[in-house]
Amino acid sequence: MTLNTAHFDEGDKLLFYTDGIVERRGRDLGEGLNALLDAAARCVEGDLEKDITCVLKQLGGERSDDDICMLALRVL
């Protein structure tokens, strides 16, 4: 078993998401991941709820056949 660790600084944010955020039929997974990265980079409002709302709006509010869930955490 491999154990990986990461260091986060105070104020850093982590964004977790289900595959329904980045996967779409007929679209390359890399395109979905890049769209999410671009949206997250533009959505740094400070308030986590506003950040998630902004990311979803940046992604165009596309409907998905899959579940969509996002969780944002800030390191204190």
At 3-15, the pLDDT tens digits run 999 999 999 999 9
Q: Rounded to whole angstroms, how far apart are CA atoms 37 and 61?
A: 15
Q: In this predicted structure, what is the pLDDT of residue 66?
A: 77
**Length reported for the chain:** 76
Q: Give DSSP secondary structure letters for 12-52.
A: -EEEEE-GGGT--TTS-HHHHHHHHHHHHHH---SSHHHHH
Contact 46, 8 (CB under 8 A): no
So where are the chain's domains?
A: 22-74
Q: What is the pLDDT of residues 49-75, one digit of tens each?
A: 999 999 989 887 656 677 888 999 999
Q: Rounded to whole angstroms, how far apart are CA atoms 3 and 29?
A: 26
Q: What is the pLDDT of residues 7-44, one digit of tens each?
A: 999 999 999 999 888 888 888 999 999 999 999 999 98
Amino acid occupying residue 13? K
